[in-house]
Amino acid sequence: MKIIPALREMEPAFLDGQFAFGIETNLSGTLAMDKLWEYISSAKENSKSLKSNLAGNLSSSLVLNDTDNWFFVNTCIPIIKKYIEFFKKSTAFNSQPISKNDLPYGLDRFWVNFQKQHEFNPMHNHSGVYSFVVFMKIPTVWKEQCEIPFVKESNAPKASAFEFVYTDIMGSIRQYAYCLDSSFEGIMLFFPAEMMHQVYPFYNCEEERITISGNIVYDI
């Protein structure tokens, strides 16, 4: 696991050397990835749509079933513990709940997104305390996407990127983008549910991008 940085141009001393907003981990080659692909297969068979509850302008978003809470217990809980260990020392998100009377957490919504070319997910946040995304299949290469003429001519080429959007301590709007290609398959990003983020469209590719998302709530 590693910490997702933010405000890279700021001196760490401004926030006690602890300025970051989430945790990044790699699930490639693990049992967790096998489980997630199994969940996706089951979701396609059951085909329970979640589109009406989501911001995404996507062809398909299906509900996933975390059988026996396997993914939550074996993947999410260790990351939550790591998050608490790191951020309880930080002032970066002192308004973001870390724990609440030692109540247990639970996995609320859990779903898979199938994104086709030209589709996108507008800037939004999630409900709950924490959220995550797992990049399951990335069929495009960001560098190639940015060579598409109308993208290349832009002063902010973002085609196919996943991007966090936040306000820095000076009140300026900042972005932290993941420029995606197949090397990101298996990467899981874990972050505060209120963190704004967006997904840009990709082009010239008939394959789907597949991602998994979930929201973690206080289980009360």
Model pLDDT for residues 46-70, shown as the tens digit of each residue = 888 777 777 778 888 999 999 999 9
Q: How far, in Å, CA of 188 to CA of 85, rounded? A: 18
- Looking at residue 97, what is its pLDDT? 54
pLDDT (tens digit per residue) in 96-150: 555 555 558 899 999 999 999 999 888 899 999 999 999 999 999 988 888 887 8
Q: Which domains does the chain have, with CATH numbers?
A: 22-90+104-218 (2.60.120.620)
Q: How far, in Å, CA of 86 to CA of 204, rounded? A: 41
Distances from the Cα of 67 to the Cα of 40, 43, 72, 107, 134, angstroms: 12, 12, 10, 12, 17
- Looking at residue 206, what is its pLDDT? 94
The type of residue at 20 is A
31 pLDDT above the threshold of 80: yes
The mean pLDDT value for 2-24 works out to 50
Q: If we measure between CA atoms, which residue out of 105, 106, 87, 104 comes closest to residue 96? A: 87
> What percentage of the chain has pLDDT greater than the value 70?
83
The mean pLDDT value for 21-27 works out to 88
- 190 close to 83: Cβ distance less than 8 angstroms: yes
- Looking at residue 8, what is its pLDDT? 36
Q: If we measure between CA atoms, which residue out of 128, 127, 118, 130 comes closest to residue 54? A: 127
Whole-number mean pLDDT of the chain? 83
The mean pLDDT value for 35-52 works out to 90
- Looking at residue 15, what is its pLDDT? 34
Out of 73-82, 136-145, 168-177, least confident range: 168-177
Is the model more confident about 15 or about 210?
A: 210
Burial of 22 (0-12, 13-18, 19+ CB in 10 A): buried
12 pLDDT above the threshold of 70: no
User: Across 71-75, 83-87, 172-176, which has the greatest mean pLDDT?
Assistant: 71-75
